């Protein structure tokens, strides 16, 4: 299976995915890295790894849907089977979700449904939560709402700062995201309502 990673920033999750593909723990082909930010370090990470990249400027499109329609054209040209969002700082349109229904994965730095939005780590920390973590989920038309694939939790220590907690969360993300991607590649994720069940290997 061929997949694309969408990233807007530093690309640490992208790097974990690249490393997992190289190690063979993800057996899908990472065929394309897409960004809405021309200066995203994620694009350089991809180029350094020999992966094809695509930058599309949102300002060149009248609406989010027109932007996503153009993206879809590129994805079909590359024969992309599914999409992995990794720090993609842009909400995908309803058109895009419908086009790739149950084929878009995202990772969020909290235990959803708690602390949705851009600042999941900071929000959990400042709220005084005792436990937080990371969530891999399917994307639907609502932000940080789709069915949950994998979660992992950690306790927030009294000595933690936002910086140390962020580092801990990133380690969780880099571990569970490649695992979730491989489960998808192997066809081992099934849906029952909102529940995602993992099928054991035969």
CATH number at residue 84: 3.40.50.170
pLDDT tens readout for residues 9-35: 999 999 999 999 999 999 999 999 999
Q: For 199, which DSSP code?
A: P
Q: Which of 10, 108, 145, 170 is catalytic?
A: 108
Q: What is the mean pLDDT of residues 116-134?
A: 97
What is the pLDDT averaged over residues 173-193? 97
Alpha carbon of 38 to those of 10, 56, 59, 70, 78: distances in Å? Answer: 12, 8, 12, 17, 20
Sign of CA dihedral 27, 151, 187, 78: negative
Residue 89 tokens, joined: 């700082």
d(CA 32, CA 91): 19
* 149 alpha carbon, distance to own chain's centre: 12
Q: Is the pLDDT of residue 133 over 90?
A: yes
What total number of domains does the chain contain?
1
Q: pLDDT exceeding 90 applies to what percent of the chain? A: 97
Domain that holds residue 102: 2-198
pTM over the 0.85 mark: yes
Known catalytic membership, residue 108: yes
Q: What is the pLDDT of residue 202?
A: 73
């Amino acid at each position: 299976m061929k997949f694309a990673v969408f990233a807007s920033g530093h690309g640490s999750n992208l790097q974990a995915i690249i490393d997992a593909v190289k190690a063979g723990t993800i057996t899908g082909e990472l065929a394309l890295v897409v960004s809405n930010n021309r200066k995203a370090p994620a694009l350089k990470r991809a180029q350094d790894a020999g992966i094809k990249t695509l930058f599309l400027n949102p300002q060149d499109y009248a609406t989010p849907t027109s932007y996503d329609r153009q993206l879809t054209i590129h994805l079909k040209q590359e024969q992309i089977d599914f999409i992995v969002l990794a720090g993609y700082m842009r909400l995908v349109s309803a058109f895009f979700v419908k086009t790739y229904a149950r084929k878009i994965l995202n990772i969020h730095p909290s235990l959803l449904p708690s602390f949705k939005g851009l600042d999941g780590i900071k929000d959990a920390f400042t709220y005084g939560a005792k436990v937080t973590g990371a969530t891999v989920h399917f994307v639907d038309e609502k932000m940080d709402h789709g069915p949950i694939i994998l979660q992992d939790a950690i306790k927030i220590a009294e000595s933690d700062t936002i910086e140390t907690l962020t580092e801990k969360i990133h380690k969780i993300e880099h571990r569970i995201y490649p695992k979730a991607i491989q489960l998808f590649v192997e066809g081992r994720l099934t849906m029952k309502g909102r529940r995602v069940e993992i099928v054991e290997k035969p």
